[in-house]
């Protein structure tokens, strides 16, 4: 049995949520409590398995070949006529994302406990979503990657559209249309790659794109497909809408994991398959990153709705990832991927925090709160921690990743980095100002009765809070995971080949 698990661990991680979802269909819809507990149990399985992966991951291995950089590889023939394979495996780039995903999903299930409309459907879709997300991070066959990428769309569409807020229909279709535009562009590139290089295998596609025509076009098609997901500045407008309307847990997944797929995709596909164009476009990417940092932060400052503020802060933080990626230095790349991981944890906390206050006050107007610290002391403590982490306070995890990004980027782009660094100040401004407006000052009478966090909420926030502190002090375990893989990717870019 342990051998079986060891050999098929990624398949299990990907498909156990799917089987859980299908099994859920057989449960009578009225048994809400059972459905919630069962889905929580199902999401715990990938978490446990990801701990197993964390223990057994070979941190020194680099490269993009099964057995070397790629670990826990499984490869079976799927459609022979097109030489498509069921090919999954993880390297240093994806392992942190898989772990993030495995961690966030149970947290989200906890945060969805108060869903009581269409409970069965909700958890069914949620588990389906987990399958899609895990699949994207593990797939090493371009076609398989695309299938998972799209499979994720449908549950997300329904989760926003059915359980969302007042403008849910608009938000859901906007999210769907934006992402579909990106993915059909990706599909064209996939087909083009297949017809010229005769393979969908990502390990074979690495750096083999130099013989292609239309490389610039392919690069931009892929880049825009991923940029929509990140989202980069001109393609970002779906994000605030989706976040504001989505229920708490869905916002968490969206911000913590789905956004990462954009940057993951660029690193995995644009960087390795079209390295020469990536190098040419480096400055453009850095500028995109800079715009995101400043624009996102300024927008966040102007928000009255707490959830929208967090949404824009996500845009700003993803800008750091972009900036770090564009630097092609070891510090920058490590910082970028570490920032992806950190942002996943911090933004999850922030959205959970928004959910807690929304459940009690039934609105999210920042200005109408005040003095909540005296009514909800524990809640105040967690919120302070999360916002401090978001603004990059030394000793908390995102400080390390942001500093790494800035150090890396400064070596290449002095001006852009200097401008981007002002984003740190704006971020600090809106974070502190928000905390002040919500927690300090005079407590409004009508909020004096608000209860502090309950056990379930504490349980969902506590692991994330611990990670924020631990990784802030000792980031080594996570940084160590990705170092060699990122060095390899950087090598491809700088040398223009393997």
Q: How far is the CB of 249 from other proteins (least distance, A)?
A: 18
Q: What angle do CA 444, 447, 448 make, to 5 degrees?
A: 90
Q: How far apart are the first and last CA of the chain?
A: 38
Footprint on this chain of other proteins (rule: CB under 8 A): 78-81, 121, 146-147, 150-151, 153-154, 157-158, 161-162, 168-169, 172-173, 176-177, 180-181, 184-185, 187-188, 191-192, 194-195
State which residue, 168 or 317, has the beta carbon closest to other proteins.
168
Whichever of 244 and 357 has its CB closer to other proteins, that residue is 244
Neighbour tally for 362: CB within 10 Å: 7
Instruction: Output the smallest distance, CB 79 to other proteins, in A.
Output: 5
Kindly give, in sequence order, each residue whose CB lies less than 8 Å from that of residue 462, ignoring residues fewer than 6 positions away: none
Least Å distance, CB 215 to other proteins, is 14
Supply the DSSP symbol for 81.
G
> What minimum distance in Å lies between the beta carbon of 16 and other proteins?
18
We find the least distance from the C-beta atom of residue 24 to other proteins, in angstroms, to be: 14
- In the complex with other proteins, the residue whose CB is nearer, 162 or 403, is 162
Q: Cβ closer to other proteins: 265 or 475?
A: 265
For other proteins, the closer of residues 187 and 419 by Cβ is 187
Sign of CA dihedral 330, 332, 336, 339: positive
Q: Determine which helix (DSSP H) or strand (DSSP E) holds 74, and give its type and residue range.
A: strand 71-79
DSSP 227: H
Q: Which is nearer to other proteins, 164 or 324 (CB)?
A: 164
Least CB distance to other proteins at residue 195 (A): 5
Count the residues in the chain.
498
Q: Which is nearer to other proteins, 19 or 194 (CB)?
A: 194
Which is nearer to other proteins, 154 or 282 (by Cβ)? 154
Q: How far is the CB of 190 from other proteins (least distance, A)?
A: 9
Please return the burial class of 234, using the count of CB atoms within 10 Å of its CB with bins 0-12, 13-18 and 19+: exposed
Smallest distance from other proteins to CB 234, Å? 17
How far apart are alpha carbons 68 and 71 in whole angstroms? 7
Judge whether 214 and 192 are in contact, CB under 8 Å.
yes
Q: Minimum distance from CB of 310 to other proteins (Å)?
A: 24
**C-beta of residue 43 within 8 angstroms of C-beta of residue 109:** yes
219 vs 271, which CB is nearer to other proteins? Answer: 219
Whole-Å CA distances, 81 to 77, 78, 84, 196, 200: 10, 9, 8, 16, 12
Do 485 and 69 touch, CB atoms closer than 8 A?
yes
> Cα 411 vs. chain centroid, distance in angstroms?
27
Nearer to other proteins, 12 or 162 (CB): 162
Supply the DSSP string of 147-163, one letter for each residue: HHHHHTHHHHHHHHHHH
DSSP state of 444: P
Closest approach of Cβ 231 to other proteins, in Å? 17
Name the packing angle between helices 92-111 and 455-473 (round to 10°): 160
Alpha carbon distance 246, 462 (integer Å) = 23
Beta bridge partners of 141: 201
C-beta of 68 vs 150, nearer to other proteins: 150
Minimum CB distance to other proteins, residue 183 (Å): 9
Angle at which helices 306-325 and 330-361 pack, to 10 degrees?
Answer: 170
472 touches 397 (CB < 8 A): yes
């Amino acid at each position: 049995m342990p051998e079986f698990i060891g050999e098929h661990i990624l398949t299990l991680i990907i498909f156990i949520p799917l089987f859980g979802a299908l099994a859920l269909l057989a449960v009578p819809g009225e048994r809400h409590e059972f459905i919630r507990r069962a889905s929580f149990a199902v999401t715990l399985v990938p978490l446990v398995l990801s701990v197993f992966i964390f223990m057994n991951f070979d941190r020194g291995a680099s490269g993009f070949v099964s057995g070397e950089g790629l670990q826990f590889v499984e490869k079976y023939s799927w459609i022979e006529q097109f030489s498509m394979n069921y090919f999954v495996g993880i390297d240093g780039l994806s392992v942190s994302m898989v772990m993030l995903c495995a961690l966030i999903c149970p947290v989200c299930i906890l945060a969805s406990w108060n869903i009581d409309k269409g409970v069965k459907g909700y958890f069914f879709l949620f588990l389906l979503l987990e399958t899609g997300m895990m699949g994207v991070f593990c797939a090493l066959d371009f076609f398989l990657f695309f299938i998972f990428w799209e499979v994720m769309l449908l549950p997300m569409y329904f989760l926003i559209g059915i359980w969302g807020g007042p403008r849910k229909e608009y938000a859901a279709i906007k999210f769907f249309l934006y992402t579909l535009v990106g993915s059909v562009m990706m599909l064209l590139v996939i087909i083009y790659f297949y017809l010229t290089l005769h393979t969908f295998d990502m390990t074979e596609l690495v750096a083999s794109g130099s013989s292609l025509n239309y490389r610039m076009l392919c690069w931009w098609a892929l880049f825009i497909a991923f940029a929509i997901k990140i989202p980069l500045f001109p393609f970002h407008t779906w994000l605030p809408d989706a976040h504001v309307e989505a229920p708490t847990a869905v916002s968490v997944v969206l911000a913590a994991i789905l956004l990462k797929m954009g940057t993951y995709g660029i690193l995995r596909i644009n960087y390795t398959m079209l390295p020469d164009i990536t190098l040419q476009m480096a400055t453009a990417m850095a500028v995109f990153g800079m715009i995101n940092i400043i624009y996102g932060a300024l927008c966040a400052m102007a928000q009255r709705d707490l959830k929208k503020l967090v949404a824009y802060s996500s845009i700003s933080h993803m800008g750091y990832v972009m900036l770090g990626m564009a630097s092609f230095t070891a510090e920058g790349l490590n910082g970028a991927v570490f920032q992806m991981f950190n942002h996943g944890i911090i933004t999850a906390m922030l959205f959970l925090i928004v959910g807690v206050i929304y459940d009690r006050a039934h609105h999210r107007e920042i200005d109408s709160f005040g003095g909540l610290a005296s009514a909800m002391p524990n809640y105040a403590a967690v919120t302070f921690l999360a916002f401090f982490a978001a603004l990059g306070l030394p000793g908390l995890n995102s400080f390390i990743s942001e500093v790494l990004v800035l150090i890396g980027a400064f070596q290449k782009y002095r001006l852009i980095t200097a401008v981007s660094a002002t984003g740190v100040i704006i971020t600090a401004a809106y974070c502190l100002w928000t905390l002040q407006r919500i927690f300090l000052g005079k407590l409004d009478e009508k909020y004096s009765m608000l209860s502090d966090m309950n056990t379930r909420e504490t349980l969902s926030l506590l692991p994330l809070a611990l990670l924020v502190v631990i990784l802030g002090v000792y980031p080594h375990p996570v940084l160590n995971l990705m170092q060699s893989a990122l060095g390899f990717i950087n090598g491809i870019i700088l040398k223009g080949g393997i």
